Amino acid sequence: MTLQVPFEHPLAPGPVGSYLAVVDYDPGNQCYYESVDLNDRWILANAGIAPTESDPRFHQQMVYAVVSETIQRFEYALGRRIRWRRRKYRHKSPFQGRLLVFPHGVQEANAFYDPNLHALVFGYFRASETDPGNNLPNQTIFTCLAHDVVAHETTHALLDSIRPAFMQPTNIDVAAFHEGFADIVALFQHFSIKEAVLEALRGTGGALFSEHLSPAAPPGKDGVRITAQIGQRNPLVGMADQFGDAIGLHRPLRSAIGTPPDAKALESMTEAHDRGSILVAAIFDAFFTAFVRRTIDLWRIAGISRERGEDVELHPDLLGRLCDEVSKTAGHFQTMCIRGLDYCPPVDITFGDYLRALITADYDTVRDDDLGYRAALVDAFRLRGIRPEAVTSYSEESLLWIPPESKHRLKLETLQRPDPNASEVEFAAIEKSNARQLHAFACANAKVFGLNHFNRRHIAVDSFHFVVRPNPDTLLPTSEMVAVIVERLEQPEKKGGGTAFGGVTLLFNEDGTLRYAVRKSLRNDRPEKQAFFRQLLWESVPRGAYEAMKTGQIDFRALHQRY
Ligand SMILES: [Zn+2]
């Protein structure tokens, strides 16, 4: 397949662009591999290096393309440029302000985002000798060649740039949200590949959500004789297929619809990926349901009754139309899921908060839910026992974030709007000045925003963005603002010690009036709850993935072991 990525100039060998720098250093073998120059005329003439496992330059091209594609999707959905979290560098780095990507960074069956290095590290390893699935025993598996894995890790980095405080595991859902969300973005990317969608539609007779494609030839009375009689796994709903095989799972690492609806499942699941898979399943349940409802008319026109489960050869025209509907619906859902991030609280997220954020964000973009997307989401979350706190029902009105009671206006005259092409230094200066004013605004309205105003130094402006979105009523582009305020409070020993994280996400209209204030107040029992959860991490789950979180920050390297 060919990926379309935005044109970048300048693009140095590496590739090193404005967002990312691919550094192909292999610490295991203590060597650098020759870096690819995508501006080389031979490579340009061939539209890139053809896929090959044996040329590290293809690996570099692959990670560059997938990371860029994922960033582009975020920028499209969020309506603004992505800025990585600024770091304090001890040494001056030539790659300052860029995400580092190491395609061969570690020799283990793992890949992870390292927030301290600000890097994506991809591992390589040998497939199982005794149980390698579809791979050769001991075959070298490169995680940087798995589209899903690259998109997943990039999403961790992007999510960290949008909500840095989600790196603090303050409740059981936070790490699970990071994992689930990264899977959601990676899985939706599958549905933009037209050839794969057509193939899956053909193989599943239009039931895209099936785990398996039907074989090209049905098995005879004497069972399977030739390869064409063996059904393949549906590549659209599985994630990291080769990786799962190579470590002996006999299945993709994870699946879009891995968990059936069960209102009790969340109660017993504590592991981040297990919990995350419930979030993934809820989103994809809604997506597939919306797709099925959206295409009922097409089946009727084609005269095919779906109830009887007829196994018919679908007409190419019908396949083409179904394929269009899939990509439209997938595009809408992916955008909705990413846009919802701007409506999430600054810290301490729960799955229920995310549902409310999704519903509100979509309501702000499309007033009428005539395609039933929001209804499908609410049903899918409800069936999986995901309950938002402090709402009276699952109705749309009660799930929407509530606008603040009194009218608060931010004085816009003094706020500066950075030029999208501003340099890092210019941008930092503008950001600092805006942050100072927002800080004053937040402190002045501390009580309404649920902040403690006795010490202003505990309150910090984590990020502030201008966003351009189409107005749902006029369809003209309107500008909005999103500010993320985080409060960090050291707790006395009698309250469990440690740091409690609270804050508020503020969404403003173009004229500076406050639309929503999504609060996580520390003026209630939240500090105690967070201290209790930290204690739980220390004591009751001493081993396994949660071990990593003891340091106070999610450690993806440990969390991703064998996941
Ligand atoms: Zn992950």
b/e map 201-211, b = 16+ CB within 10 Å? bbbbbbebbbb
The half-sphere exposure of 231 on its side-chain side, counting CA atoms within 13 A, is 14
Tell me, in angstroms, the distance from the centre of ligand 1 to residue 228's CA: 35
Beta carbons of 123 and 106 less than 8 angstroms apart:
yes
Q: What are phi and psi of 361, to 5 degrees?
A: -60, -45
Tell me, in angstroms, the distance from the centre of ligand 1 to residue 178's CA: 7
For residue 10, cis peptide bond before it (omega within 30 degrees of 0):
yes
Tell me, in angstroms, the distance from the centre of ligand 1 to residue 187's CA: 13
Tell me, in angstroms, the distance from the centre of ligand 1 to residue 152's CA: 6
Tell me, in angstroms, the distance from the centre of ligand 1 to residue 5's CA: 23
Tell me, in angstroms, the distance from the centre of ligand 1 to residue 297's CA: 39
DSSP letter string, 336-388:
HHHHGGGGS-SSS--HHHHHHHHHHHHHHH-S--TT-HHHHHHHHHHHTT---
Tell me, in angstroms, the distance from the centre of ligand 1 to residue 105's CA: 16
Q: Residue type for 334, please?
A: Q
- Distance, CA of 36 to CA of 213 (rounded, Å): 37
Q: Quick one: residue 498, left, alpha or beta (phi over 0 = left, psi -120 to 50 = alpha)?
A: left
Q: What are phi and psi of 29, to 5 degrees?
A: -100, 5
Hey, what CATH topology would domain 20-167 get? Elastase; domain 1 (3.10.170)
Tell me, in angstroms, the distance from the centre of ligand 1 to residue 182's CA: 6
The one-digit pLDDT tens for each residue of the chain (563 residues) are: 788 888 888 899 989 998 999 999 998 888 999 999 999 999 989 888 999 989 999 999 999 999 999 999 999 999 888 888 766 655 667 787 889 999 999 998 889 999 888 899 999 988 888 877 778 888 888 999 999 999 999 999 999 999 988 988 888 899 899 999 999 999 998 888 888 898 888 888 888 888 888 887 878 888 888 888 887 788 888 877 777 777 766 677 777 777 778 888 888 888 888 888 899 999 999 999 999 998 888 888 888 876 655 566 788 889 999 999 999 999 999 999 999 999 999 999 999 999 999 999 999 888 888 888 999 999 999 999 998 988 888 888 889 998 887 777 777 667 777 776 777 777 778 888 888 888 988 888 888 888 887 777 888 888 888 888 766 667 777 778 899 999 988 888 777 778 889 999 999 888 888 889 999 988 888 888 888 888 777 665 545 544 555 456 777 787 777 56
Beta carbons of 523 and 452 less than 8 angstroms apart:
yes
Tell me, in angstroms, the distance from the centre of ligand 1 to residue 110's CA: 10
Dihedral sign for Cα 432, 434, 437, 439, please: negative
Residue-range domain boundaries for the chain: 20-167, 183-399, 412-524
Beta carbons of 357 and 212 less than 8 angstroms apart:
no
Tell me, in angstroms, the distance from the centre of ligand 1 to residue 180's CA: 8
Contacts of 21 (CB under 8 A, 6+ apart): 14, 95, 98, 99, 100, 101
Tell me, in angstroms, the distance from the centre of ligand 1 to residue 326's CA: 26
Tell me, in angstroms, the distance from the centre of ligand 1 to residue 29's CA: 26
- DSSP-derived 3-state class of residue 49: coil
Tell me, in angstroms, the distance from the centre of ligand 1 to residue 176's CA: 9
Tell me, in angstroms, the distance from the centre of ligand 1 to residue 181's CA: 9
Tell me, in angstroms, the distance from the centre of ligand 1 to residue 276's CA: 10
Tell me, in angstroms, the distance from the centre of ligand 1 to residue 363's CA: 29
The half-sphere exposure of 442 on its side-chain side, counting CA atoms within 13 A, is 35
Tell me, in angstroms, the distance from the centre of ligand 1 to residue 109's CA: 13
- Which contacts qualify for 381-384: CB closer than 8 Å, 24 or more apart? 381/282, 381/351, 381/352, 381/355, 382/263, 383/261, 383/263, 383/282, 383/285, 384/259, 384/261, 384/262, 384/263, 384/265, 384/266, 384/278, 384/281, 384/282, 384/285
Contacts of 459 (CB under 8 A, 6+ apart): 439, 442, 443, 446, 451, 453, 485, 486, 487, 503
The C-alpha angle 432, 486, 471, rounded to 5 degrees, equals 75
- Distance, CA of 169 to CA of 552 (rounded, Å): 7
Partner residues linked to 486 by β-bridges: 460, 503
Instruction: Give this prediction's pTM.
Output: 0.91
